[in-house]
Every structure is written in C-alpha cells, then in structure tokens.
Amino acid sequence: MISTLILVQCPDRTGLVALIARVLAAHQLNIIAMREFVDEAAARFFARIECSGVLADDEQLRQELLAQLPGDTTVTVNPPQPKRIAVLATREYHCLGDILVSHFFRTLDAEVACVISNHDDLRAFTEGFSRPFHHVPHEDRSREQFEAALLEKLSDYSPDYIILAKFMRILSPEFIARYPQRILNIHHSFLPAFAGARPYRQAFERGVKLIGATAHFVTHELDEGPIITQQTIAVNHTFTAARMVEAGREVEKNVLNKAMRLVFRDQVFISGNKTIVFE
C-alpha cells in the first residue's frame, strides 16, 4: 500500500540513489517502487519514489532530503491529490466531453473545478454534468482585456492545472507566465506538421498515410512546449476529409486523456523543452 510519494529532481552525481534510500530508511519508509532517470545532456537526476510505512512529518522529510542532496534540488513529498483543473473550451465538444465523462465516473484523478469558454454553446452540456460553466466572450475585446477577464474568473477557482480542450485562442506569454508548466494543450497534429487552421483538410490534400495528435505543456512559443505524449493512426486513400476529422477527434481526446492522467499522477517531469515520463 502506497503511503508516501516522493518526487526528486537535482543535479546528477554519484551515490544519489543510495543517499535517498538511507534518508527514507531512517524514517522507516520502505521503497516499493522507484523510477529514476539521468538527463546526461543536462546533467540532472529525476526520481519518482513510492513508499510504504507511516510518515510522521512530510516537511521534515523534505528538508532532510534537501539538506543531503546537491544544491538546486526540488523535492516534493505527497503532492496534493486529486488535482484541481479548469478547462478552457470553445465550441468543439469531444475533448471536453471525454473530460466530463471521466470526471463523472471518478477516473480522471482530478476535480473539474470549472469550464470556461469564449462561446456559450457548451453551457447546457457542461451543466448537465453539474460543473460550473462561465462564458467569457472575446468579441469586442482586446486580447489583454479578454485574458484579464479569463484570469479574474480563474482566480476564483485556484486550479492546479489549466486544460485547453480545443481552446482555439492563442494565449499571450504574460498569461502563460501566470501558470508556468501548468497549462496542457492538445494539438491536432503530430507536431510540428500541419500547424494552424484546418489541419485535416491539409492532411487530406497532402494524401498523408498517418494522422495524429500531440499533448504538450504550453509555453510562450506556439505549439513548441514540452511534449507529454503522442499518438498516430493509419489512414489511406479512402478517407475523406470529414472522415479524417472524425478519426482525428478520437485520437485527440485519447491523447489528451492519457497526458492528463500522467500529469495528475505526478509521472511527468520537465527537463528543458523535453519531458521525462515514468509510465
């Protein structure tokens, strides 16, 4: 039975695993699963450790690990569960629908605090799942005014993560800086191909044999953030553009769902513009 989860990232050096194990043993914690990885290019060590045993004081353990590990170390002990999320949407329902169904059946590992959209189309759908829905229109507003209204609404819910469920608005670097490494997006292609509008029409016109989707963290560089997970499916000459859209939507919601579960279960570390994913 897991009683303690510990996440560590720090500069790499010899003996880190043994050092961590000694500290945990001193707290009568038994390691039942440990995944570690060294990003050699960045010379950084990452570990996700599951322990059994009774831990009296999370903060004391964290401070002891920090004292023993190299400088520039981050240690998290028992990160909050479940995560609170805010979902940003527009008019497309497939990703939002998958999130709301997973939330309803308690398989999301997160609490959907609210849904915010720049259109009112999905209000009845969202409220049918008893989730708060807020319409924040973008019409007749500058991007700064629109984002200020979004931030004001988000501040009411204090989300751990923001999920862009086909939210077709480009967010400014200033907005993203408010939630660093906490905004997840689903991109409608196997990055970086077919960026921009009507990706499936572009794919159809190019006669592609694979289509896919990419879930990634959002950074100030459009669609260039650290990739969490990707998936492709085969298509052929019999696929119309409409059929590609239908198939693509299935991939998009599956990829976003997987990415959220990985992140919410604290299985994803960010290293520069890459991720370490302990699946």
Q: What digits encode the pLDDT tens for the residues 79-115?
A: 999 999 999 999 999 999 999 999 999 999 999 999 9
Residues 158 and 169: their CA atoms lie apart, in Å, by 21
Question: For position 199, what pLDDT does the model report?
Answer: 74
The answer on pLDDT for 192 being more than 60 is no
**Across 37-45, average pLDDT:** 95
pLDDT band of residue 196 (cuts 50, 70, 90) is: low
- CB distance 99 to 112 below 8 Å: yes
Distance of CA 45 to the CA centre of its chain: 21
What percentage of the chain has pLDDT greater than the value 70?
A: 96
The residue annotated as part of the active site, out of 57, 120, 160, 223, is 223
Q: Which residue has the higher pLDDT, 73 or 204?
A: 73
DSSP the chain: ---EEEEEEEE--TTHHHHHHHHHHHTTPEEEEEEEEEETTTTEEEEEEEEES--S-HHHHHHHHHHHSPSS-EEEES--SSEEEEEEE-S--HHHHHHHHHHHTT-SSEEEEEEEESSSTTHHHHHTTT--EEE---TTS-HHHHHHHHHHHHHTT--SEEEEES--SPPPHHHHHHSTT-EEEEESSSTTSS-SS-HHHHHHHHT-SEEEEEEEE--SSTT-SPEEEEEEEE--TT--HHHHHHHHHHHHHHHHHHHHHHHHTT-EEEETTEEEE--
pLDDT band of residue 198 (cuts 50, 70, 90) is: confident
For the chain, the average pLDDT equals: 93
Q: Does residue 223 have an active-site annotation?
A: yes
Question: For position 15, what pLDDT does the model report?
Answer: 96
**Across 9-19, average pLDDT:** 97
Name the one residue in this structure whose structure tokens are 């497309």: 92
C-alpha count within 13 angstroms, C-beta hemisphere, residue 37: 16
pLDDT band of residue 187 (cuts 50, 70, 90) is: confident
Q: Which residue has the higher pLDDT, 207 or 50?
A: 50
Low-confidence winner among 152-161, 234-243, 256-265 (lowest mean pLDDT)? 234-243
pTM of the entire structure? 0.92
The answer on pLDDT for 191 being more than 50 is no
Q: What digits encode the pLDDT tens for the residues 56-82?
A: 999 999 999 999 999 999 999 999 999
- CB distance 197 to 203 below 8 Å: no
What percentage of the chain has pLDDT greater than the value 90?
A: 84
Q: Which residue has the higher pLDDT, 203 or 211?
A: 211
Question: For position 176, what pLDDT does the model report?
Answer: 97
